[in-house]
Amino acid sequence: MRENLPIIQLQDRGGWPVARDGVVISFFIHRDHAQVASAVWRALQLYLQAIPPKTLNWYVSDEGDFVEFDDKAWERQRQLLLERPWDGTCRLELSESPSEVGGYQFEYYGRKLDSPLWKNPATAVAFTFPTEYLLEHGPDHLRALAFKLAWELPFSFGYASLAVVSPQGSWGNSDWDMLDSLRDRYLGLDLYHLEDTSDVIGTHARSAAWLTFLGQPLLGQLGGIKGLRRALPFPEVSLLPLDSQRLLIALGEWPAVIDIEKEGIPPQYRALALKLEPFRFEEPARWPQRHPYSWLRRISR
């Protein structure tokens, strides 16, 4: 499997690593931070149990500085998420290192949906893994973990995909010609910027991914489980309900990188992308259209 996946190491102009290959699991939740904070904390505990011990060693302070964890840091993070007086926003960013982009990152952006600060916001959370984690543990393990994370969260949309892992959209500081080359060749790689997307996604979708999670109102707008079964009549596809209001669509055993130099676009990816197209969110205007976040958008064009 490794020979089919790109090895990505992107640097900024100063030579600092800003992006690498991996897997991202993201969820968008159309509720205020105060309503979902405890669920996000439970999901974070599941993530910490799944990754190597003491992997996340740094967090971003209120001043925007990287601070190393000490014995009391996790309690401070818990208080920040669950107990701190809320002014309409909450952010929690955890990483392996302040100077190198590792495969394990956690980002959370709590929103107040009626705030005038954003056009059409959603609370958002993302968990990342290096490609090595997928290869070591296998896709069944990662799919089961994604299901457990999703179980805790009242999401409207979510997904898991091979990705350019780069917290806070740091890939924007790297070589854009190289990003163009990656984008044009590997349609199954996700280029994500969680904070920006959470400003505008509302209850909309991004696009088709290896694992696509649908909650309300999207699931109902797409015809429910029965309608999606009719739209995705492919042997590779499995539909796994979490409950009557939430669904996981798995488009194959392994995530597809969709290397167009070697293969075509899998029909199940194209079919789901077409199904989701009327419900996709508007791209943030401040990012150039040459780099749409979800490269799978181009599948349906």
Phi then psi for 177, rounded to 5 degrees?
A: -65, -40
Question: Given this model, what pLDDT does residue 298 score?
Answer: 58
**Residues in CB range of 98: below 8 A, 6 or more apart:** 58, 66, 68
Summary count for the chain: helices (H), strands (E): 9, 11
Domain that holds residue 270: 2-300
**CA separation for the pair 124, 159 (Å, rounded):** 12
Evaluate whether 203 touches 122 at the Cβ level (below 8 Å). yes
Cβ contacts of 298-301, under 8 Å, gap ≥ 24: 298/187, 299/187, 299/207, 299/208, 299/265, 299/269, 299/270, 299/273, 299/274, 300/207, 300/270, 300/273, 300/274
Number of domains in the chain: 1
**CA separation for the pair 181, 176 (Å, rounded):** 9
Evaluate whether 107 touches 44 at the Cβ level (below 8 Å). no
Helix (H, G, I), strand (E, B) or coil at 100: coil
- Does an H or E element contain 248, and which? strand 246-250
Evaluate whether 10 touches 17 at the Cβ level (below 8 Å). yes
Question: Given this model, what pLDDT does residue 286 score?
Answer: 47
Q: How far is residue 217 CA from its own chain's centroid?
A: 19
Evaluate whether 75 touches 59 at the Cβ level (below 8 Å). no
* Prediction pTM value: 0.92
Q: What is the pLDDT along the chain (301 residues), one digit of tens a residue?
A: 556 788 888 777 766 777 889 999 999 999 999 999 999 999 999 999 999 998 988 877 766 677 777 778 788 888 888 887 666 678 888 888 766 777 999 999 999 898 888 889 999 999 999 999 999 999 999 999 999 999 999 999 999 999 989 877 766 666 777 787 888 889 999 988 898 899 899 999 998 999 999 999 999 999 999 999 999 999 999 999 999 999 999 999 999 999 999 989 999 999 999 999 999 987 654 444 444 555 555 555 5
**CA separation for the pair 78, 67 (Å, rounded):** 16
